[in-house]
Structure 1
Amino acid sequence: MSSIFTKIVNGEIPCYKIAEDENFLAFLDVNPNAKGHTLCIPKQEINKIFDIEDELYLGLMLFSKKIAVALEKSVPCKRIGMAVIGLEVPHAHVHLIPLNEMDEMRFQNKISLSKEEFEELVKKIQSNM
């Protein structure tokens, strides 16, 4: 059975897409820890991040770095935090979270954004890439 992320890659479920290339996709988390919380995933469904072959893994890190740089230019924050948890969705993914305080990395305090706020944020991040 396909993961929710595979369904997003296949266009079966919509997302707030920031960027994609042949191997990777970046989109805003719809249940964010902070404004700009972004997920970077390999398009290939691989359950665990350390099961990714080396070349694809390095590609995911470089893709994530590119997104993080644009994100930091787009959302006021002290830095971009990165986390790989891997328990909630069986598809390897990297969380990029704009941080102003440690609680924003705890995955307990979520924020809400309107559809318009998500769409505006996507455009802003894309303009900084």
Structure 2
Amino acid sequence: MSTVFTKIIDGEIPGRFVWADEACVAFATIAPITDGHVLVVPRDEVDQFTDADDALVAHLAVVARTVGRAQQSAFDSPRAAVLVAGFEVPHLHLHVLPAWDEASLRFDNARHDEPAEKLDAAAERVRQALRDAGHEANVPARLSSADLG
């Protein structure tokens, strides 16, 4: 049975994509802890972080760093944070978000009622920062999953 993340990657469920390559994608979460919060998710269904092979973990870390740098630029944050928990969806994912302090990096700070327009605008800021940093080849042409290939 496909995970909700596979359904997003496959376009069965809408997603706000900021990154796509052969191994993974990054898309905005619908419950951001901070504006610009995205999930870096492998295309293959790997249950959890500790199940992934070394090459995949390394690739996800590089993509998370690249996205994190874009978030820092887009939101003028002093740090980018990476959180790995994986309890809510049985499909490996890294939470990458602009960060100002450790106290705010808690899942109970997630905002579950953000308007779609605000989520779209935050994702577009990350997308633009990625393009500005020279990563346009990995930024899908549109925010939706239609251009993932």
What TM-score comes out, normalization by structure 1 length?
0.93
Q: Identity across aligned pairs (percent)?
A: 30
Deviations 1:18-46 (A, max 9, x none): 11111111011101111111100101000
Structure 2 spans left out of the alignment, 5+ residues:
131-149
Paired residues of 1:103 and 1:109 also in contact (CA < 8 A): no
Query: 2 CA distance for matches of 1:123 and 1:88?
Result: 25
Q: CA deviation at 1:104?
A: 2.1
Q: Quick check: 1:9 aligned with 2:5?
A: no
Deviation at 1:102, TM superposition (A): 2.3
Q: What is the Cα deviation at residue 95 of structure 1? A: 0.5
TM-score (norm 2): 0.81
Say which SS state the counterpart of residue 128 (structure 1) adopts. helix
> CA–CA distance in 1 between the matches of 2:118 and 2:65?
23
Q: Give the match's secondary structure for 2:19.
A: strand
* Deviant stretches of 4+, over 4 Å: none
How far residue 76 of structure 1 moved from its aligned partner, in angstroms, is: 3.1
How many residue pairs get matched?
Answer: 129
Q: Distance in 1 between matches of 2:121 and 2:106?
A: 25
Q: Name the SS of the counterpart of 1:45 in structure 2.
A: coil
Deviations 1:61-118, CA, capped at 9 Å, x for gaps: 1111111111111113221111100111100000112222323211112224321222
Retained in 2: the 8 A contact 1:97–1:104?
A: no
Alignment partner, residue 115 of structure 1? 116
Task: Give the letter aligned to residue 11 of structure 1.
Answer: G
Structure 1 segment 40-119 matched on structure 2, within 5 A: 40-111=40-111, 112-119=113-120
Q: Using the TM superposition, name which of 27-36 and 99-108 deviates more.
A: 99-108
**CA distance in 1: counterparts of 2:106 and 2:60, whole angstroms:** 23
State whether residues 49 and 92 of structure 1, in contact with CA within 8 Å, keep that contact through their aligned partners in structure 2.
Answer: yes
